[in-house]
Amino acid sequence: MANLPSNPRFFGKEYIAALEQHYPEFVEGLRRQTVDRKLHIGFVERWINNLDTVGAEGPDRYQRIADRPWSSAKSAWGSSGGGPNLRHAGAYGSYKGLIQLKPAIDLVLYSNLIWELEPQTILEFGSLQGGSGLWFADQLEISCGRGQVHSFELCYKCISERASHPRLNFHEANLNDLGTLDHDLLQRLPHPWLVVDDAHANLSNLIPFIAGFMKPGDYYVIEDVLANMTSAGISAIVRIVSNLGFMVDTRYTDAFGLNVTCSPNGWLVKQ
């Protein structure tokens, strides 16, 4: 996937241009050094001095998973000031009253990716009560005004009736038996896809199977498990992902610091 000089879905440069046009007193000469104190933003001076990077693709945005470190600037499973870690913090919240385990950081990342990708299809493996599927459906409605979420769950009868949305569809499936997935459905679902794997089941077979239906530019996010696997398990996933032509998108793995996400090295885009 080519690194573009700017992303048409991000508009940071418009703010800088508006500052220069309407408030030149903030950005001319030595005033640049004080603009952050005036506007209380903290990034304006950096943006002005590095205008080409505002909303742009970094030169190393897409990286081979085999080349990526597995360390993290802050582990999602580490303690946070003596309180819950990032992963467990999600259990304290909900979405419209339904269990929704994704922590705030990952919700921000998903929201940005949905805005950028404009997926026509979101596949979710692991529905739980339906809270995250409902959140994804609302995000599609807000950001895109189109698209469908298809969420697959073994304990299908535990999905709440409250998880209802015209863009949300639940399916009963056992991911250890790929025959329980509707192959015809997968064949006809429109692209681009965002695949969210929160089931942690049969990854060595599920990832290649789903990848067979994916197209370049589709995303597959592997949640939770990669940082907690054995070295042998990680090596196996790295080999599978590499052979299938996926790259790590560092815009999402590293937005809050190296691998500060519940999906370290797991925000994958198909090439």
| Domain match, 41 and 67 both | no
Distance CA 149, CA 29 (A): 51
| Domain match, 132 and 254 both | yes
Q: State CA 20 to chain mean position distance.
A: 33
Domain residues for the domain of 182 are: 62-270
| Domain match, 23 and 124 both | no
Count up the domains in the chain and report the number: 2
| Domain match, 130 and 250 both | yes
176 in any annotated domain: yes
pLDDT, tens digit, for every residue of 39-68? 555 566 666 666 655 566 677 899 999 999
| pLDDT confidence of residue 82 | 59
Residue 194 phi, psi (nearest 5): -120, 115
pLDDT > 70 in the chain, percent = 83
**Residues 216, 62 contacting (CB under 8 angstroms):** no
Helix ranges (DSSP H) in the chain? 12-22, 24-27, 35-39, 44-49, 86-89, 104-117, 131-143, 183-188, 203-211, 231-243, 250-253
| Domain match, 147 and 240 both | yes
Q: Which two tokens stand for residue 31?
A: 């005033």
DSSP string, 239-268: HHHHHTTEEEEHHHHSBTBTT-SSSTT-EE
5 in any annotated domain: no
Q: Which residue has the tokens 């903290």?
A: 42
Is residue 246's pLDDT more than 70?
A: yes
